[in-house]
């Protein structure tokens, strides 16, 4: 320990190892010292593991979140003439809701400053999806972000390096030390970025089911409650919906395929579950910021949400009229029995899309824009043996076998009741 440092990392690790409650000054120091390099990766790894094993109380989580916010800049949108509201999803298979939702909510009168991420593992990332559009730029300066927000009412872009830098370092470390799964660490990571983003209101989509980060609904509830508490403590109007991710959302998983499906929704069509969830979230977001009398369903039908989308994509260098990339190779998988589709495992579909090239296994890897899966029948629908169930898309056909392997057994076909989670499992505010 340097003579100039007020604490020693070893002392703080030992305290959490022994199940003590960390003090505010200890938390402020350890986050700051780690961000500036005075606490080593191996020390922070030990502390993160102690937190994963022994937890943190709500006061500690709130302070930890604050310390991460204070490690960087805090954005401010008070100059806008509309209230700001954002949505965050913990991620799921085929979860493209942000794409139609941000322009839809903007078309109804709110401003949506949406900082998004890239996919890692089996869940896709919003930025990877939008990068399937020719010319579209994820990285914007703060000035450009403000300009797009003022001109279009919505902006979807990457968080800059100045926003919660402590989280960037911590998240990379958690990824390689098996400490991602701790609820205090997930909640503080997500909420530090959303609070630093400067939104006045936030609706959280906490997914549960096999394709979600929190497959257990009770854990999903705990995560949702923790994040809602953090948002409210920071003065952000926050609510969470725990939503189903036992089955993929919509009929596509993969970057360009999901953009295509989002465009169908913005054109007034699209799969029923994607449309329903988009409208539910739009209503919650508008209500949270007190915008009344606007009907998101109508804004999808009358083209006003599509107009905002086109403006927003163009403002970020994209060509909304450019054809979307299409994978070089396709392979259809057909049903091997007749009956009703009883279940479809979201995790298997997500892993298959990832194996086809839609996702990455390491940060920084590139993804194939055209790769992914089209789903032809969802749970509840009838199918006849030999009819198409999935179409796999990839530029690299050597990937088909591994994707097929994981899809084997992903679907149950029979004549009993369909068992699945309701789309909205729980509302927490
Ligand atoms: N997303 C984040 O931003 N952080 C986590 O810890 C998990 C998901």
Q: State the DSSP string of 253-308.
A: ESHHHHHHHHHHHHTT-S-HHHHHHHHHHHHHHHHHTT--S--HHHHHHSSHHHHH
Residues 195 and 284 in one domain: yes
How remote is the CA of residue 127 from the centroid of ligand 1, in Å?
15
Whether residue 334 is found in the same domain as residue 284 = no
Residue 128 makes CB contacts below 8 A (sequence gap 6+) with 118, 119, 255, 358, 359, 367
**Ligand 1 centroid distance, CA of 186 (Å):** 5
Say yes or no: 344 and 302 in one domain: no
Do 334 and 311 sit in the same domain of this protein? no
Q: What is the pLDDT of residue 1?
A: 54
Nearest CA to ligand 1 atom 6: 186
User: Does residue 153 contact residue 106 with C-beta atoms inside 8 Å?
Assistant: yes
Residue 61 lies in a domain: no
DSSP 8-state secondary structure symbol assigned to residue 427: E
Number of domains in the chain: 3
- The answer as to whether 146 is a domain residue is yes
Residue 72 inside a domain? The answer is no
Cβ density class 320-340: b for 16+ within 10 Å, e for less: beeebbebebebebebeeeeb
Q: Are residues 299 and 343 in the same domain?
A: no
In this structure, the answer to whether residues 297 and 352 fall within a common structural domain is: no
Quick one: which of 119, 196, 128 has its CA closest to 162? Answer: 196
Q: Whose CA is nearest to atom 5 of ligand 1?
A: 186
Residue located nearest, by CA, to atom 2 of ligand 1: 190
Radius of gyration of the chain (CA): 22
What CATH code is carried by the domain that includes residue 194? Answer: 3.40.1030.10
State the CATH number of the domain containing residue 379. Answer: 3.90.1170.30
- Token look-up 């920084």 returns 364
| Ligand 1 centroid distance, CA of 194 (Å) | 11
> Mind listing the pLDDT tens digit of every residue in the chain (429 residues)?
566 899 999 999 999 999 999 999 999 999 999 999 999 999 999 999 999 999 999 999 999 999 999 999 999 999 999 999 999 999 999 999 999 999 999 999 999 999 998 876 777 799 999 999 999 999 999 999 999 999 999 999 999 889 999 999 999 899 889 998 899 999 999 999 999 999 999 999 999 999 998 999 999 999 999 999 999 999 999 999 999 999 999 999 999 999 999 999 999 999 999 999 999 999 999 999 999 999 999 999 999 999 999 999 999 999 999 999 999 999 999 999 999 999 999 999 999 999 999 998 777 788 999 999 999 999 999 999 999 999 999 999 999 999 999 999 999 999 999 989 999 999 999
Q: Of 252, 287, 315, which one is at a domain's C-terminal end? A: 315
Domain holding 400, by residue range, is 329-414
CATH number reported for the structural domain that contains residue 38 in this entry: 1.20.970.10
How many CB atoms within 10 Å of residue 295? Answer: 14
Q: Looking at the domain assignment, is residue 280 inside a domain?
A: yes
User: Ligand 1 centre from 391 Cα, in Å?
Assistant: 31
One domain for residues 246 and 343: no
Determine which residue's CA is closest to atom 1 belonging to ligand 1. 190
Question: Which of 256, 291, 315 lies at the terminal end of a domain, its last residue?
Answer: 315
Residues with CB under 6 A from ligand 1: 171, 180, 185-186, 189-190
Position 423 in a domain: no
Domain-embedded: residue 132: yes
375 and 333 in a common domain: yes
Annotated catalytic residues are 88, 167, 174, 189, 193
Q: What's the rounded Cα separation, in Å, for the pair 329 and 324?
A: 15
């Amino acid at each position: 320990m340097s003579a100039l440092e007020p604490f020693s990392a070893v002392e703080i690790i030992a305290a959490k190892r022994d199940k003590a409650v960390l003090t505010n000054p200890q938390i402020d120091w350890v986050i700051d010292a780690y961000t500036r390099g005075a606490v080593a990766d191996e020390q922070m790894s030990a502390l993160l593991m102690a937190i994963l094993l022994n937890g943190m109380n709500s006061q500690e989580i709130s302070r930890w979140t604050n310390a991460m916010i204070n490690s960087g800049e805090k954005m401010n949108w008070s100059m806008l003439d509309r209230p700001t509201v954002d949505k965050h999803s913990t991620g799921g298979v085929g979860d493209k809701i942000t794409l139609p939702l941000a322009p839809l909510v903007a078309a109804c009168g709110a401003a949506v400053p949406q900082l998004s991420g890239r996919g890692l593992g089996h869940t896709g990332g919003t930025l990877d999806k939008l990068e399937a559009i020719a010319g579209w730029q994820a990285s914007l300066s703060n000035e450009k972000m403000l300009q797009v927000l003022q001109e279009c009412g919505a902006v979807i872009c990457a968080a800059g390096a100045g926003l919660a830098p402590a989280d960037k370092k911590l998240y990379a470390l958690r990824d390689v030390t098996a400490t991602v799964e701790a609820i205090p660490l997930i909640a503080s990571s997500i909420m530090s970025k959303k609070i630093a983003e400067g939104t006045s209101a936030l609706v959280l989509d906490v997914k549960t089911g096999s394709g979600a980060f929190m497959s257990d609904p009770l854990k999903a509830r705990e995560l949702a409650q923790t994040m809602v508490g953090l948002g409210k403590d920071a003065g952000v109007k926050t609510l969470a919906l725990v939503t189903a991710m036992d089955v993929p959302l919509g009929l596509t998983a993969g970057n360009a395929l999901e953009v295509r499906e989002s465009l169908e929704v913005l054109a007034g069509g699209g799969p029923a579950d994607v449309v329903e969830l988009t409208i539910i979230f739009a209503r919650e977001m508008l209500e949270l910021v007190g915008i009344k009398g606007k009907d998101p369903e109508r804004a999808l039908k009358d083209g006003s949400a599509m107009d905002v989308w086109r403006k927003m994509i163009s403002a970020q260098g994209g060509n909304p009229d450019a054809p979307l990339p299409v994978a070089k190779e396709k392979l259809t998988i057909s049903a091997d029995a007749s009956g009703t589709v009883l279940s479809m495992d979201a995790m298997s579909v997500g892993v298959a899309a990832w194996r086809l090239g839609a996702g990455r296994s390491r940060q920084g890897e590139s993804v194939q824009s055209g790769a992914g899966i089209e789903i032809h029948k969802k749970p509840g629908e009838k199918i006849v043996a030999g009819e198409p169930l999935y179409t796999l898309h990839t530029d690299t056909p050597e990937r088909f076998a591994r994707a097929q392997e994981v899809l084997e057994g992903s679907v149950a076909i029979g004549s009993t009741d369909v068992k699945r989670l309701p789309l909205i499992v729980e509302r927490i505010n």
